[in-house]
Copies of this chain bind each other. A is one copy, B any other.
Amino acid sequence: MQPDQINNAWHTAAKCEECAIRSMVLFADLTKDDFDHIHHPIHELNFATGETLYNQGDKPEAIYTVRSGLVKLVSYLSDGSFRIVRILRQGDVVGLEALDEKPYLHHAVILETASFCRLPVSDIKALNESSPHLFKQLTARWQRVISDADTWLSKLTSGFAKQRVAHLLLYLARDCKTKQCYLPGREDMGALLAITTETASRVIAEFKRKGYIKLASPHQAMIDQEALNAIIQGDPEDSSVQNQR
């Protein structure tokens, strides 16, 4: 993890204004005047797979926007098991709870090499006082988190294991033209869907055998959206007897 610090606030601002994914990020519609209010340099951070952005309970001094890569938010339960409560990607904001001065609620672990912009909480707050632009974006982020959580809850935690996996793959491939998506490890998949590692493995193995998914690389899969949708609808064709719920 090598912070790529830019030591000049003005440069930082200029950088934000030129950001390739600016339309997606928190500062999307700030004006040049707004940027003048950012007093600290914006840090750019790069992380490799498996590294940790922050841990649950850490003091929250910044929020992060995902510029690229994939991150999972992990929550440990009292019995030692863990659940993955969210997966974040380009344009998403990580650690929003920092704005509420609450310790981070999860462990944020990198799934695919990722880069972030680090936004100190103090800057966000100051900026919000001076400019109404940020509020709109923050609202949108919060909204997205919540509606994603709802989707998650309603689709990824009910039905048969096959259906959950199908939902997950389609979720991971959403608005991805190539129909290619990140394929989580089996343990993570279990933690995402509330199923066991073995069940996750069995389902993925079956999907592979039937050609519903094809590996592009160890953690990238091409998916057959139609077939997966059929699974979700409870397609009788998939060897087992009629299943629907």
Complex Cα–Cα for A198 and B226 (A): 33
Q: Which of A5-13, A145-153, A171-179, A210-218 contacts B (4 or more CB under 8 A)?
A: A145-153
Asked if A155 contacts B194 (CB within 8 A), the reply is: no
Asked if A154 contacts B75 (CB within 8 A), the reply is: yes
Q: Which residue of B lies closest to A144 (CB)?
A: B100
Instruction: Tell me whether A90 is interfacial, beta carbon within 8 Å.
Output: no
Complex Cα–Cα for A164 and B212 (A): 33
Of residues 77 through 112 on chain A, the ones whose CB sits less than 8 Å from some CB of chain B are 77-79, 81, 83, 85-86, 96-97, 99-100, 102, 105-106
Complex Cα–Cα for A151 and B153 (A): 11
Number of copies: 2
Asked if B143 contacts A100 (CB within 8 A), the reply is: yes
| Residue from B96, B135, B150, B155 in contact with A135 in the complex, judged by beta carbons closer than 8 Å | B135
12 further A-B pairs in the complex, CB-CB below 8 A; given A97-B146, A145-B146: A77-B155, A78-B232, A79-B245, A81-B245, A83-B158, A96-B143, A96-B146, A100-B140, A105-B150, A135-B135, A149-B150, A157-B157
Instruction: Tell me whether A129 is interfacial, beta carbon within 8 Å.
Output: yes
Interface size class of A (residues with CB under 8 A): 35 or more
CB distance from A30 to the nearest CB of B (A): 16
Complex Cα–Cα for A97 and B142 (A): 9
Complex Cα–Cα for A117 and B234 (A): 42
Q: 5 A-B contacts, Cβ less than 8 Å apart?
A: A79-B245, A83-B153, A128-B132, A149-B153, A153-B153
Q: A81-B245, A135-B135, A143-B96 are in contact. Are A150 and B106 (CB under 8 A)?
A: yes
Complex Cα–Cα for A160 and B96 (A): 32
Q: Give the most central of A128, A157, A233: most B CB within 10 Å.
A: A157
Instruction: Tell me whether A49 is interfacial, beta carbon within 8 Å.
Output: no
Instruction: Tell me whether A239 is interfacial, beta carbon within 8 Å.
Output: no
Complex contacts, A140 vs chain B, CB 8 Å? 100
Asked if A147 contacts B105 (CB within 8 A), the reply is: yes
Asked if B139 contacts A100 (CB within 8 A), the reply is: yes
Instruction: Tell me whether A244 is interfacial, beta carbon within 8 Å.
Output: yes
Q: A194-B158, A244-B79 are in contact. Are A147 and B97 (CB under 8 A)?
A: yes
Complex contacts, A135 vs chain B, CB 8 Å? 128, 135
Asked if A79 contacts B233 (CB within 8 A), the reply is: yes
